Amino acid sequence: MSEQGPDGEELSATLLSDSGGKAKAPGGPPPNDPLPGSILGDYVVEQAVAWGGMGIVYRAAHRVLGRKVAVKVLRPTHANDPELTHRFLKEAQALSSLRHRGIVDIINFGDLPDGRQYMVMELLEGESLEATLKKVGRLPLLEALTLADQILDALSAAHSAGVVHRDLKPGNVFLVEENQGARYAKLVDFGLARMAPLDALNNPNGRASMALVGTPLYLAPEQATGQATTPRTDLYSFGVVLFELVSGKPPFSAFSVVELLNAHISKPAPRLSSRVEGVPPELDALVASLLEKLPEHRPASAEEARAPLRQLLHRLQYEGASVLGGPLAPLRATPPSSPGAYRSPARTRSYKVPIAVGAFVLAALGGWALSSRRSQPANDEVPAVVPAGPGPEQVVPAVVVPTPPVLPATPDAGAEAEVDAGAAVSPVTKVPRARTGPLTQQDIRAAEAPIAGRIKRCLEKHRADLPGAKGTLVVKVVVSQEGAVTSAAAVTAGLDGTALGSCLITEVKTLRFRKQPVADLVINLPFGYEAVEGAPGQ
Give the largest Cα separation in the chain, rounded: 83
What is the Cα–Cα distance from 186 to 142, expressed in whole angstroms?
Answer: 18
Q: Which of 332, 336, 343 is nearest to 380 (CA)?
A: 332
Q: What angle do CA 8, 9, 12 make, to 5 degrees?
A: 130
- How far apart (Å, rounded) are the C-alpha atoms in residues 482 and 338? 27
> What is the CB neighbour count within 10 angstroms for residue 535?
12
CA-based angle 301:97:147, to the nearest 5? Answer: 50
Given a contact cutoff of 8 angstroms between Cβ atoms, the answer to whether 289 and 298 are in contact is yes
DSSP 8-state class, residue 114: T
Burial of 268 (0-12, 13-18, 19+ CB in 10 A): exposed
Give residues with Cβ within 8 angstroms of 38, minimum separation 6.
Answer: 44, 45
Decide the pairing of beta strands 485-490 and 470-479. Answer: antiparallel
Helix (H) or strand (E) holding 263, with range, is: helix 257-266
Residue 275 Ramachandran class (φ > 0 left, ψ -120 to 50 alpha, else beta): alpha
User: Of residues 33, 111, 114, 167, which has the active-site annotation?
Assistant: 167
DSSP element (H, E) containing 2: strand 2-4
For residue 167, indicate whether it is catalytic. yes
Q: Which helix (H) or strand (E) holds 117?
A: strand 117-122
Q: How far apart are CA 203 and CA 256, in angstroms?
A: 10
Angle at 11 between CA 9 and CA 15, to 5 degrees: 155
Residue 413, burial from CB neighbour count under 10 angstroms (0-12, 13-18, 19+): exposed
Catalytic residue annotation: 167
